[in-house]
């Protein structure tokens, strides 16, 4: 284990700060020998397991079942849906040899599984009675990225991809919206990350979809992070893979499909949203260790009593469902404080002979500026209240930041000024609905049209770049 190192202040170098936080918290590291890929280390993976558990429970509660598709996809499958292959071809990793032989047809490593889903749905769906078919898979996927950044964009990443088939377009659209809402709730209730729900423009939608919905989070630097997408695939893949069903009248129809996904990128967003120059800050609901008890043995012979009291306190908190570590390692308390702070543990409890004497706990919240004391008898109630409050505080702070950094702009010069250099905000501006104006804005400012928010002011106006009529404001930002 390396000695704890300082974290580069965010003000000084935001990119180094981000990587320092990840390194010092033991979340992940670049694989280096595998281009653009990362190793997710135990502390990082434990956070992913918590996100998975929360999400999987909601998927099941909304009637979905998990399944598992092959990693490899015949290369020709990708080409069956024209937009799909165009969107993904540049990012594919290709298996050309296996078992010591050149393959007759190469396989690609899945960048997403709509094509295989199309193939199997066509085998599994026969009648309207088989619909809706509501499936999800937890898997690794690969998209060969040129510029990578831990968690936010890596060539391989872990994700879930939901795939559903429905008898009508209306039902499919309802599903697309339902799953976006599941994502938004997980972000807000678990990651303490408020999001803007909206529709992608035609330029930004998923390759092969009729329409893509998304949730966009504002990060402290004013940039946007797309943390989840939910796609109305219409009948595009159904037609490409001949996925038909017999309706109640005995006629053959093509199914209506959806797909939706979130990934380990969520962890990147969470790190950026809450962490500080002392390291990781974790929303309590996602913290693998919620409380750490650090024994202060002092110089006298009260060590046994401290050890016993610490162990009893750990058991008491664990019994109440609080993930608690009692850190009895042979390091100095200061070293431990520093390490657990960097790892983002929400609450630290110090326990020494004097605390035992006074029947109190000396505690420090991860974001608190000072320690405080709690009566020992109130341990469970105080810890629970603290964790609930911290979860709420993180969300409130993120909400406040989002409100403060969201601006309405009607003047293109002012718009450009906001996005000058590394600048970014959530800018609500009028747009005429054309890909042309969207491209012009992107070219001039590097800001992209993040989404057409569901909840937007629909007062008509004039497009910020073309001056043509606009039906309402849309969200622009630079994006990760």
Distance CA 232, CA 211 (A): 5
Distance CA 459, CA 63 (A): 38
Name the residue nearer to a second copy (CB basis): 86 or 378.
Answer: 86
* Using rule CB under 8 A, residue 46 touches a second copy: yes
With contact defined as beta carbons under 8 Å apart, do 231 and 313 qualify?
no
- Pick the binder of a second copy from 49, 251, 408, 458 (CB under 8 A): 49
Instruction: Supply the minimum distance, in Å, between the C-beta of residue 62 and a second copy.
Output: 14
Instruction: Supply the minimum distance, in Å, between the C-beta of residue 128 and a second copy.
Output: 11
- Pick the binder of a second copy from 8, 14, 19, 37 (CB under 8 A): 37
Name the residue nearer to a second copy (CB basis): 16 or 129.
Answer: 129
* Using rule CB under 8 A, residue 33 touches a second copy: yes
- Pick the binder of a second copy from 7, 21, 25, 38 (CB under 8 A): 38
Burial 281-313 (b: 16+ CB within 10 A, else e): bbbbbbbbbbbbbbbbbeeeebeebbeebbeeb
Distance CA 300, CA 22 (A): 38
**Which residues neighbour 302 within 8 Å (Cβ) at sequence distance 6 or greater?**
352, 353, 356
* Using rule CB under 8 A, residue 253 touches a second copy: no
Name the residue nearer to a second copy (CB basis): 155 or 257.
Answer: 155
* Using rule CB under 8 A, residue 42 touches a second copy: yes
With contact defined as beta carbons under 8 Å apart, do 412 and 458 qualify?
no
Instruction: Supply the minimum distance, in Å, between the C-beta of residue 449 and a second copy.
Output: 26
Name the residue nearer to a second copy (CB basis): 335 or 454.
Answer: 335
Instruction: Supply the minimum distance, in Å, between the C-beta of residue 59 and a second copy.
Output: 12
Burial 409-424 (b: 16+ CB within 10 A, else e): beebeebbebbeeebb
| Residue 149-178 contact track with a second copy, rule CB under 8 A, x = bound | ------xx-x--------------------
* Using rule CB under 8 A, residue 57 touches a second copy: no
Instruction: Supply the minimum distance, in Å, between the C-beta of residue 104 and a second copy.
Output: 10
- Pick the binder of a second copy from 41, 239, 446, 462 (CB under 8 A): 41
Query: Between helices 14-25 and 333-342, what is the axis angle to 10°?
Result: 120
- Pick the binder of a second copy from 9, 39, 400, 403 (CB under 8 A): 39
* Using rule CB under 8 A, residue 335 touches a second copy: no
Instruction: Supply the minimum distance, in Å, between the C-beta of residue 39 and a second copy.
Output: 6
- Pick the binder of a second copy from 21, 78, 142, 447 (CB under 8 A): 142
Helix (H) or strand (E) holding 420: none
Instruction: Supply the minimum distance, in Å, between the C-beta of residue 98 and a second copy.
Output: 4
Burial 452-477 (b: 16+ CB within 10 A, else e): bbeebeeeebebbbbeeebeebbbbb
- Pick the binder of a second copy from 127, 203, 357, 377 (CB under 8 A): 127
Give one DSSP letter per residue of 192-256, joined into a string: ----EEEE--TTTS-TT-SEEEEEEEE-TTS-EEEEEEEEEEETHHHHHTT-EEE-TTS-EEE-E
Helix (H) or strand (E) holding 391: helix 379-404
* Using rule CB under 8 A, residue 1 touches a second copy: yes
* Using rule CB under 8 A, residue 367 touches a second copy: no
User: Among the candidate windows 139-147, 213-221, 373-381, 402-410, which touches a second copy by CB under 8 A?
Assistant: 139-147
**Which residues neighbour 259 within 8 Å (Cβ) at sequence distance 6 or greater?**
112, 114, 117, 161, 162, 163, 164, 206, 209, 230, 231, 233
With contact defined as beta carbons under 8 Å apart, do 334 and 364 qualify?
no
* Using rule CB under 8 A, residue 321 touches a second copy: no
**Which residues from 66-125 bind a second copy, rule CB under 8 A?**
66-74, 77, 89-100, 106-107, 109, 116, 119-120, 123
Name the residue nearer to a second copy (CB basis): 23 or 425.
Answer: 23
Distance CA 100, CA 476 (A): 50
**How many Å from the N-terminal Cα to the C-terminal Cα in the chain?**
32
- Pick the binder of a second copy from 8, 14, 19, 31 (CB under 8 A): 31
* Using rule CB under 8 A, residue 144 touches a second copy: yes
Nearest of 214, 188, 152, 165 to residue 14 by alpha carbon: 152
User: Among the candidate windows 59-67, 181-189, 209-217, 456-464, which touches a second copy by CB under 8 A?
Assistant: 59-67
Instruction: Supply the minimum distance, in Å, between the C-beta of residue 46 and a second copy.
Output: 7
Structure tokens at 7: 């974290």
Name the residue nearer to a second copy (CB basis): 155 or 199.
Answer: 155
Distance CA 168, CA 131 (A): 10
User: Among the candidate windows 64-72, 228-236, 255-263, 377-385, which touches a second copy by CB under 8 A?
Assistant: 64-72
Distance CA 431, CA 271 (A): 32
Residues that bind a second copy (CB under 8 A): 1-2, 29, 31, 33-35, 37-42, 45-46, 48-49, 65-74, 77, 89-100, 106-107, 109, 116, 119-120, 123, 126-127, 129-130, 135, 139-140, 142, 144, 146, 155-156, 158, 330
């Amino acid at each position: 284990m390396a000695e704890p190192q300082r974290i580069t202040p965010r003000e000084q170098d935001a990119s180094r700060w981000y990587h320092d936080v990840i390194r010092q918290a033991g979340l992940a590291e670049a694989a280096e020998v595998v281009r653009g890929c990362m190793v997710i280390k135990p502390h990082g993976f434990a956070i992913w397991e918590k996100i998975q558990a929360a999400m999987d429970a909601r998927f099941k509660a909304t009637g979905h079942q998990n399944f598992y598709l092959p990693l490899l996809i015949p290369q020709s499958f990708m080409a069956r849906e024209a937009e799909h292959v165009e969107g993904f071809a540049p990012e594919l990793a290709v298996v050309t040899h296996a078992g010591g032989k050149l393959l007759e047809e190469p396989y690609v490593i899945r960048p997403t599984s709509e094509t295989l889903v199309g193939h199997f749905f066509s085998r599994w769906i026969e009648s309207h009675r088989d619909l809706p078919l509501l499936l999800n898979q937890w898997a690794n996927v690969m998209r060969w990225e040129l510029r990578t950044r831990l968690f936010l964009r890596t060539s391989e990443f872990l994700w879930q991809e939901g795939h559903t088939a429905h008898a009508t377009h209306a039902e499919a659209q309802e599903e697309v919206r339902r799953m976006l809402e599941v994502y938004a709730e997980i972000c807000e209730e678990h990651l303490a990350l408020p999001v803007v729900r909206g529709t992608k423009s035609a330029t930004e939608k998923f390759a092969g979809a009729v329409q893509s919905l998304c949730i966009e989070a504002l990060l402290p630097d004013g940039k946007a992070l797309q943390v989840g997408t939910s796609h109305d695939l219409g009948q595009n893949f159904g037609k490409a893979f001949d996925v038909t069903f017999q309706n109640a009248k005995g006629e053959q129809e093509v199914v209506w499909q959806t797909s939706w996904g979130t990934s380990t990128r969520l962890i990147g967003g969470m790190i950026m949203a809450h962490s500080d120059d002392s390291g990781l800050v974790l929303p309590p609901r996602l913290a693998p260790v919620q409380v750490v008890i650090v024994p202060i043995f002092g110089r006298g012979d009260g060590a046994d009593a401290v050890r016993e009291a610490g162990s009893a306190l750990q058991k008491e908190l664990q019994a109440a469902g609080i993930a608690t570590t009692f850190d009895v390692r042979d390091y100095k308390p200061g070293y431990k404080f520093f390490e657990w702070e960097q790892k983002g543990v929400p609450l630290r409890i110090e326990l020494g002979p004097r605390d035992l004497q006074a029947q109190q706990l000396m505690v420090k919240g991860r974001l608190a500026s000072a320690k405080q004391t709690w009566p020992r008898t109130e341990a469970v109630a105080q810890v629970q209240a603290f964790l609930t409050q911290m979860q709420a505080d993180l969300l409130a702070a993120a909400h406040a930041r989002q409100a403060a950094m969201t601006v309405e702009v009607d003047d293109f010069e002012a718009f450009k000024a906001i996005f000058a250099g590394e600048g970014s905000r959530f800018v609500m501006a009028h747009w005429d609905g054309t890909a042309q104006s969207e491209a012009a804005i992107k070219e001039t400012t590097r800001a992209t049209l993040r989404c057409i928010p569901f909840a937007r002011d629909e007062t008509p106006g004039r497009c910020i770049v073309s001056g043509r009529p606009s039906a309402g404001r849309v969200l622009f930002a630079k994006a990760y």
